[in-house]
A and B are shown apart, each in its own frame.
Chain A
């Protein structure tokens, strides 16, 4: 065990960085959204396409935010010491579920584009859909969404708020109260995340079903948070923040979790694929069949290699885990692959039940990029907003010293 890192002399606030970041990111975000709207009305079938692109990117940033919330919860639950110095960042990322609530409004507006089960005509002719109607109907969907966002926003705001309170009061009882909240919080999180993944992604093909789907979405979610953490850290460090607080020992652990979650994702993805492939039941294989038809097959292979094999080899050694400048490119790579994964989850259903659709082609569009920039810009701006007036590490946490002295044994 080494001495706790001396952080008395370093900058642990965003200060001038915050308004700059909020201005730039917010600007990019607004511009992205404006371009998206323009493109939507200018191109053929643009509105439907725009909603789909929006859906992918919404789920992408939602999954990162939920990953942050989960990270905070699990660190409290396990009374982790090592992670205290990065917990403020995870709290802020988790609190971004609040901005996702605002950004959810367009999804509601485009429900009939995104979810074919909303169509009354389909309902009339499809006995399977009639069976599912007690669950798949608009009012109940809205109620469920309210519950999801209620849980996420409530939990993440509570954790951020209490932690900020502790900065000032240094009261160890606050730590206990957060730990106590985390156990039931995690259960609520697990249930809402599962059903949200069913509602937002699985029900896009309303015939298909897979019990592991919630776990699949969770794996991607936690993975993407572990990937965005090094990116945020590198940004802060290169701007002179948190020079000593976060050390190679912490990157090493973040890298290990990134590696582990990447393998976990592969395990879950393989389990789902293998079981459906092996049993070969028509009601299940349709979903995968769509993803191995035409160009989609190439995308599936891209995921196999890009999402699993390449980062597996890249992150297995300790060299790339302990150096932020090596870890971050891998993290960016994983973030890109996570985006592709969500695209692969959501987009093949774009052609679902469309007359004369060019099945097997990938409908890449400029809208994917513009909505990415739109949501992403706003997301980053709000992240900076949470951190604007506060320290970047939980100053009052009783385990801060342990975290500063942390060493990989």
Chain B
């Protein structure tokens, strides 16, 4: 039994999601290898090699892998698949892009967004926006899974796995990278942040969103999130979106401001440790999942919260 974990990284540093998917791999059992595909892989592989319980770290380097072109990444993984019984990828937008392609090339099912490993062939994952949990048993010889990182604890560090390089596939003939615009932010990554402050439709405008949500987030060292309604209305960029169709987060503290709590939003944050809701509608569904609810207009409540936080040295 051997499991291949596809590392999550940004061509500079290894992301914690990798450690979490290794934990899922440990639940399946067998030898665990990590694949680092991209550019600047030596530094990233050195990080991955420290994860406890890893047999070896494979690296493959090319411009197309660094650009995350699905055709290139899938070709690489399919080429390595012969040596593995399971291939686990973090369910990030990058992972969701190439993993089903790998599954189809191998003629196996993909099980998406796995939140629990029941046994080596049986897995649980959310369906219907997290309103139901489906447990499925796979009859395929190889299992291809995307894994929801927030559902697993990060594997510890302390190992020193061997690092081996493998050949990168040729550039895809039919797909060409044009450019990439990444938002540079001093704030923590939404998926990995300990605190998330999210704003909803009540903000009313992009200016108001920036004026209310962002200073509070910065005061707390938090990442910024948004409901789908706020994203749809253009108050916040799409990659802020928390929910079924956006990011799934599980921080220590989630603060929802002016968010009513639509099913699809709750699906993206209900595993947070502590949830705070500030909303002037006391009947808003968000209060049904909130540990602490403050029924108030955010316009008064957020400045008060800012000054209370200042009093405790935030």
Chains A and B bind each other: no
The interface of chain B, by Cβ under 8 A from chain A, is: none
